[in-house]
C-alpha cells in the first residue's frame, strides 16, 4: 500500500481550508495565519488557522472552503480539516495537540482513503508549522512530535509555510433568512410518551458560508436563553451546510410540554452572526 503522512501529499486536488481570521494574521512562530504545504509537495491548497471559543475552552480550527478531496471519508467544503488545543510550549513556540486527516492509496495510486487521526503541531522556525500525525492504520496512537530535525527533514511530519490567505469574493448583504429557514415543531399535540421534535432548516450561502451553529432555548418570556442541552446532549456546532449539501435539517428533541422559545444562531466564515427566534405555544392534549 502506498501511504502519505498527511494532506500535503495530495497533489492536484486543489484544496483550500479557511476559518474566519484577519487576512495575513500571524507572524514568527505563532499558530495563527494562513499556511501552505511543504514546497516539495507541489500541492495547491492553503489552510487558514484561527482560534475560537467553545464550552471546553479555546480551540484552533481550520475548515475546507474550496477544492475537492477525491478520497473516501475526506472532509468536504465547510468541514473541519484540523482542530487543535494548546498543551504547552517549547523553544518559544506553542505546542498543540488535536486531529487532522491523513490519506492512503493502493499501489497504483488509486482507491484513496481518508482518515482522521491524532496529531501534534509545533513551529520549528519562523513562519513554519510542523504537523506530525499518527499513522493511518493506528489513528488513536500517540503521535510523536519531532523537535530536533531541521525544516523539511522530519520523517513522517510535514512543515507548512506561512503564506497569504486565499482570495475571497466580496460578501453580499445577507439577512438571517438566507441562512436559517423555518423553525418547526413536528406536531402541536402533546405526545403520550416521549418528546416532541423541533427542527430548523439551514441553508448554504456561497459567498460567506456558516461555519458554526448554536441553538438556545428558554421556557419563559423574561428568562435568558440557555444553550440547548438535553440529557447531556448538546448541539453539533459543525452541523452546517456545504456546497455539496446546500440544505440541512437540524432536528432536536424536547420533553417539556409548556411554551418555549427557540433561537437558532449561525456564525459565518467572515465573522458575521445571524439568528432567528421562534415561539411555540404549549402543546395540547390530543
Query: What is the distance between the alpha carbons of residues 34 and 4, in angstroms, rounded to a whole number?
Result: 22
Decide if 143 contacts 119 (C-beta within 8 A).
yes
C-alpha cell at 87: 498543551
Residues of the chain with CATH 2.60.40.3880: 176-285
Query: 280: Cβ–Cβ under 8 A, 6 or more apart, which residues?
Result: 185, 198, 259, 260, 261, 262
Give 121-147 pLDDT, tens digit per residue: 999 999 999 999 999 999 999 999 999
pLDDT of 178 reads 94
The DSSP code sequence of 177-222 is: HHHEEEEEES-SEEPSSS-EEEEEEEE--TTS-EEEEEEEEESSTT
Report whether 81 contacts 45 (CB < 8 A). no
Q: Is 196 exposed, middle or buried (0-12, 13-18, 19+ CB in 10 A)?
A: buried
Q: For residue 97, give Cα distances in angstroms to 25, 62, 137.
A: 21, 14, 19
Regarding the domain delimited by 176-285, which CATH topology (the fold level of the hierarchy) does it fall under? Immunoglobulin-like (2.60.40)
Q: Mean pLDDT per segment of 10 residues, for the chain of length 286 residues? A: 43 40 62 80 67 69 67 76 90 93 84 93 95 96 97 93 68 88 93 89 91 93 90 78 89 92 91 93 85
Amino acid at each position: 500500500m502506498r501511504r502519505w503522512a498527511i494532506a500535503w501529499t495530495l497533489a492536484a486536488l486543489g484544496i483550500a481550508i479557511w476559518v474566519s481570521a484577519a487576512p495575513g494574521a500571524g507572524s514568527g512562530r505563532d499558530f495563527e495565519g494562513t499556511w501552505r504545504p511543504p514546497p516539495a509537495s507541489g500541492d495547491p491548497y492553503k489552510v487558514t488557522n484561527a482560534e475560537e471559543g467553545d464550552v471546553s475552552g479555546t480551540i484552533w480550527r481550520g475548515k475546507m472552503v474550496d477544492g475537492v478531496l477525491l478520497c473516501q471519508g475526506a472532509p468536504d467544503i465547510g468541514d473541519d480539516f484540523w482542530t487543535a488545543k494548546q498543551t504547552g510550549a517549547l523553544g518559544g513556540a506553542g505546542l498543540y495537540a488535536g486531529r487532522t486527516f491523513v490519506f492512503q492509496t493502493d499501489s497504483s495510486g488509486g482507491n484513496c482513503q481518508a482518515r482522521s487521526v491524532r496529531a501534534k503541531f509545533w513551529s520549528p522556525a519562523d513562519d513554519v508549522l510542523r504537523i506530525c500525525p499518527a499513522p493511518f492504520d493506528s489513528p488513536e496512537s500517540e503521535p510523536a512530535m519531532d523537535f530536533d530535525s531541521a525544516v523539511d527533514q522530519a520523517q513522517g511530519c510535514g512543515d507548512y509555510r506561512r503564506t497569504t490567505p486565499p482570495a475571497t469574493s466580496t460578501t453580499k448583504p445577507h439577512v438571517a433568512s438566507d441562512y436559517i429557514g423555518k423553525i418547526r415543531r413536528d406536531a402541536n399535540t402533546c405526545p403520550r410518551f416521549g418528546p416532541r421534535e423541533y427542527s430548523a432548516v439551514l441553508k448554504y450561502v456561497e459567498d460567506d458560508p456558516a461555519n458554526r451553529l448554536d441553538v438556545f432555548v428558554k421556557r419563559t418570556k423574561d428568562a435568558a436563553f440557555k444553550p440547548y442541552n438535553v440529557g447531556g446532549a448538546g448541539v453539533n456546532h459543525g452541523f452546517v451546510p456545504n456546497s455539496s449539501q446546500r440544505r440541512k435539517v437540524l432536528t432536536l428533541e424536547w420533553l417539556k410540554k409548556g411554551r418555549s422559545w427557540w433561537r437558532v444562531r449561525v456564525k459565518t466564515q467572515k465573522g458575521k452572526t445571524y439568528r432567528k427566534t421562534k415561539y411555540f405555544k404549549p402543546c395540547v392534549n390530543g
